[in-house]
Structure 1
């Protein structure tokens, strides 16, 4: 501890600071002052009678002295610029002061010993729960760690209390909604943050208190540690040790990419838990989101982008913030190096064409791609739709589509084809019509298969088809008649047309028909 802290902890003693050179000096121990002493160590506090002080003090080192005033001290001592001198009044018990001094250093040594155990737990790489278990054993009281989404991310085991709310929370793994509301109403988080040191919270109903300290990563609050006053009353050491535990937990959480990346975003941890199916016992997930300040509407989408070339956390957050400005009503988490947005819209309200255009323009400007799931309504299914968004991007890139946002609804057929390809040779699924026309085009340098694909894709609309192919309508009719003659079909059977379109999609997936698009 430093000299300033020592004086603070000796606060109930009657002393007078007469000379202050450097109260920030770190003290490693204490010694009794010897009469006429000439050698002083800068990190030791010396205690003794004023009559034991030497005639002349050395000038080459900082000297720290607590002196009991049994005689008048020479006035020239008060001008020394390397001396920290604290005087204790003559009518105070000298032995009591010394006992107090001893006790403070014993406690300080205990803190050092306990800190070593906590640091060993940190460096053991056994995780946050192990650190929590070690801390609980040191404090002899339960320890809980809660993130900014009010989820218990670590907690002492086998805690039995007379607080039914706390017991229910420990079983659920989340702070109860009513208690979250109470925390917000009382601005407890704000008080803990401003205090910058363990904050004592009393529970009148149970007669038990809690010490709470904030955990921050790069000055951004990500969690709180709560020490529950269950087995014994808190000591002064508990405050200091809990403060240090906050720094240790911060180091541990920085090993977790989720906490390192999202740095206290209240929705992030809940979203990440849902993406990993780790939410557990939350009965009403809609209420949980409302408590955190976000209302889930009927229409949900997941958008995912993995920014290439933007490796810094700040850059990814900047992209995410811009995306939620373009898509109002969305929240995000950076999960496995991917920005994942959850977009929520009221019933019968979807992403507008204008929003798609703005989104496409922004992604084009930063040269990034994104995948978008189909619309869904059950938030518990978010993992499935997250995978849809990823798959849409993957297939869009594979098919060399010149877009920046890929909608899964446009790629679900290719996903189905991909799954089939895991078990069979996809070429075997191509219908005879497509095979015949593909072979004919190769031999005769024609584009009949391409013509047929666009003709069927446009529901046999000659105007749209001829415009897409940049040919005259008469040329289109000529080609269609020729196709009918070659394949021996009038192209009126719906099942046959579906087979042709699916077969062309297979060719697209296999990368053998880029010239058909």
Structure 2
């Protein structure tokens, strides 16, 4: 009986020693995992490396999932990355997961959520970056005893902390890179480079192709009327959508989003005289923004073509001046190329729009009044006549009337206005007046 008692005592001691030994091994493994995870924070590692380390050291499937349940990274022991992604998609991504993520995000602590149907559990650890939770580390673990549960939570929490450090570092790097990029774009648009070689280097850093022609677009966005805060938010969203549209349509586009303007340096591949690629994409932009943000006003000016990076500033200035004309003339939603402004380039220099209206009215006001009274087509006839180099025959074909009708109308215009359209000065005055009438709402 004494021997039996001694044997029982020895067994108890042995079991206790085994338990302590097992606990020590577990703690050593935990410390080792902590050390490796902390080391990743000091290296140029990404969150995928963290997921891989945890998965292979703990023999569980691990994933990093965004707020919108996108899979940012995944790892599973003995499986390829693609297989791990598929496994996570099949076994983790579910509408119920959104509720689990939200709970972990609110608590700011890892949670263990049993899954009796699979005999497993999900450990969800929020990844903190500053005061936000942009993502979660989720692992599929076994139904372990209490001590195992604690270790699962501790590993998940530390791994999530390292992921937070990595994501914060990536944000800083991205922010710095974005600032450098914005500074380079601003330098090119302002023409502030010290010499041509410096400008070329700036452009090449931005992916500029010196073997192709380019144009600059100035896209002015006018926020909707009403609440200032809401208007600013809508305009900001519209600017972001504009930049994304151009990058999607032309991945090599260089974009700069400003307070009330989006500037795009775009490669050009159309033949001279045709509608430029910049105009085509500009029109598409107006249509898309009109559908998405109907309350936001859009005006797009297109600068002249160039190939040398040093000419970016000139094309931008042309685009910007063109948008000013569009806005001054009240042509909301227009896409206008500086090349096609014609005499409009000179009219831009007149500071007061009313001065232009007065000039047009002085020259052709009587014709406008006669046209309204008699429902005649004198103005259209005069425009066509000038565009066809004063040829009644060619103008008549376009107007679908007899050449004598064109001649009669031209004579009547001369009688009404007192102009001599054979005189260079009178003809020039009439042509300028017609350009103003075509651009502005001129009444007499």
Give TM-score, length-normalised by structure 1.
0.43
Structure (1 or 2) with the greater helix fraction: 2
Q: TM-score, normalised by structure 2?
A: 0.48
Q: Which has the higher contact order (CA 8 A, sep 6+)?
A: 2
